[in-house]
Structures are given as C-alpha cells and as structure tokens.
Structure 1
Amino acid sequence: WVAAGEAKKFQEVATLMTERVKKLGPLSLKGFVESEVLHV
C-alpha cells in the first residue's frame, strides 16, 4: 500500500514505530500508528 515514491518516508516511519515500541512497549503501538501514520 506504499507507493514507490513514498518508500523512504515509510521506512522512516517504520523505524520510528520500532523505536517507540522498544521504549514504551507494544501497548503504545496502536496510538502511535493512529497519530503518526493516519494523519500524515
């Protein structure tokens, strides 16, 4: 679902998600996805 031109942005977001989960735990993942990905 990620366009080729958005691959870099997606990679950056995925990295941020991974770091956020490592720091705050898996319970924070849903809120992070909703705030950072769906509202870009």
Structure 2
Amino acid sequence: LMLVRRKNRSLSTAAEALWDVVRDQGNALMAGREGDPLYQI
C-alpha cells in the first residue's frame, strides 16, 4: 500500500482519509457480523 502511495502522488490526503473511514466501517461491519446470529451460517 505504501508503494502505491509513493507511485501515485495524485492520491490526495482527503482520499486517504476517506479510505481510512471506509476501512474502519468495513472492520466494524465484520465485527458486527461476527456477533450477529443471522450471519452464523
């Protein structure tokens, strides 16, 4: 991921911050699925 950031300088800090938010939401969603019996298939 660091190599991609070094290559692609057009990636703004705002885009990186947005990616961090999306990643955090994804982790929270996975954690929620682990605790949800409906997803225990």
Q: TM-score, length-normalised on structure 1?
A: 0.49
Q: TM-score, length-normalised on structure 2?
A: 0.48
Q: Between the two structures, name the one with larger relative contact order (CA 8 Å, sep ≥ 6).
A: 1
